Amino acid sequence: MIDPLIREMIGELPSFAPEVTAVIRAEIPRYSIVPEQEHVRDVRVQLHGLLDGLEHGIMPSPGYLRESSRLGAARAAQGLPVEALLGAYHIGYRETWNAMMRHAVGRGQEAVTELAAQVTLFWAWIRELTNAVAVAYEGVVRSELSAQEDRYRRLIEAMATADPADEATVTLARSLGYDPAGEFQAFRGRSGDLPSGSLESFRRYAATVPGVVVAAIHGGALSVLSQGVQDGVILRSLSRAVRTVGQGAGAPRLPLGIGLPRAGLPGAADSFQDADGALSLALRQGGGTVRYSVAWLQASLAEQSRRLGDVLGAGARTAEAHPHLAAAVTAYADHGFVPTAAARALNVHPNTVVYRLDRWTTLTGWNPRTRDGLMRSLLALDLCPAAVRPAAHMPRP
């Protein structure tokens, strides 16, 4: 008695498939992105295959599984979440089973018993088809993510070329959602400072805010290029990602350089150069965030520190050997060039500050009371490694 029932269901598919489709679209609103007629057609094909398999007592054929895979790939390309896709299969099969059971009840207990015996095959179909769909869906998503990652990398690489505003780069920027003539801001860090998984986490957080953010790891560097996003949002998202992946440990001294916001793709390339200089300074200071807009002079010189060693080395060496003298120079500059104010900050006598400034002049040849001497002194202290930076309070004579 079960075969006539199944054949009757197959005959009703022209009216039944649209009904099932309507239920799916009502329960899963995301299916609105799929054209309705296309959806009805696919539901009808899937249900016809199921019913035909039940009638003949067979599992899905390779050809039918390929069709299901095609459907999974198509839904992935349309942007339908995989959970919605798999949910639609379960709704469709639920509605089909319920309809078959109603038919069986109308035919009597023997038909109900025969139909119940098909439940194992019925659910085996669901397992086979949803697995084929999920595998195809994952393949498309993985391929698209790989292609997107490649676009990220190529855009970041283009920022280092001689002409970042060439036609290919403009097209690439547009494909990622940027306005090539808009304002860009670059951020640079080191990939080795990021916990595993934090880049993906950062991308998820950044995707929830208005604007465009591309983040990529390439050549040992973390590169972020934003448009229409406040730099504070980028910093919070990155910090949140690091804390989340690091299970709350965080990375408060994560070295990061922030470039100036600049117009156009050539400006984006310049912003990355800003960020590189700021990162170099951040690394010399032992970590933390450095904004090129604030420390532009030191950041600009940081990458030239090797060449500047012959010019500023005397100050760095003196600071390393006599950090209390370096502390006096810094306090003197930070407190209005007034020895008494510097002395209060260092908790020493004003004469001690005067003595230390004189001693610094003797050892370096730079008088911090003059413009040139003070500039050389402060640059040496800013660019020297963090290990030789002076402490704020040192009980030395």
pLDDT confidence of residue 386: 40
- Contact between 180 and 170 under an 8 Å Cβ cutoff? The reply is yes
Residue ranges and CATH numbers for the domains of the chain are 2-143 (1.10.490.10), 167-301 (3.30.70.270), 304-388 (1.10.10.2840)
Structure tokens, 40: 């009805």
pTM: 0.56
What is the tens place of the pLDDT at every residue in 311-341? Answer: 888 888 899 899 999 999 999 999 999 999 9
H-helix or E-strand spanning residue 91: helix 82-107
Taking Cα atoms as reference points, which of 329, 285, 334, 281 lies closest to residue 303? 281
Taking Cα atoms as reference points, which of 74, 54, 41 lies closest to residue 4? 54
Taking Cα atoms as reference points, which of 60, 54, 58 lies closest to residue 6? 54
Round to whole Å and give the CA distance between 219 and 265: 21
Displacement of CA 22 from its chain's centroid (Å): 37
- Contact between 212 and 178 under an 8 Å Cβ cutoff? The reply is yes
Taking Cα atoms as reference points, which of 296, 302, 254 lies closest to residue 280? 302
Which amino acid is located at 351 in the chain? Answer: N
Mean pLDDT of 50-59: 87
What is the tens place of the pLDDT at every residue in 132-162? Answer: 888 888 777 677 667 777 888 888 888 877 5
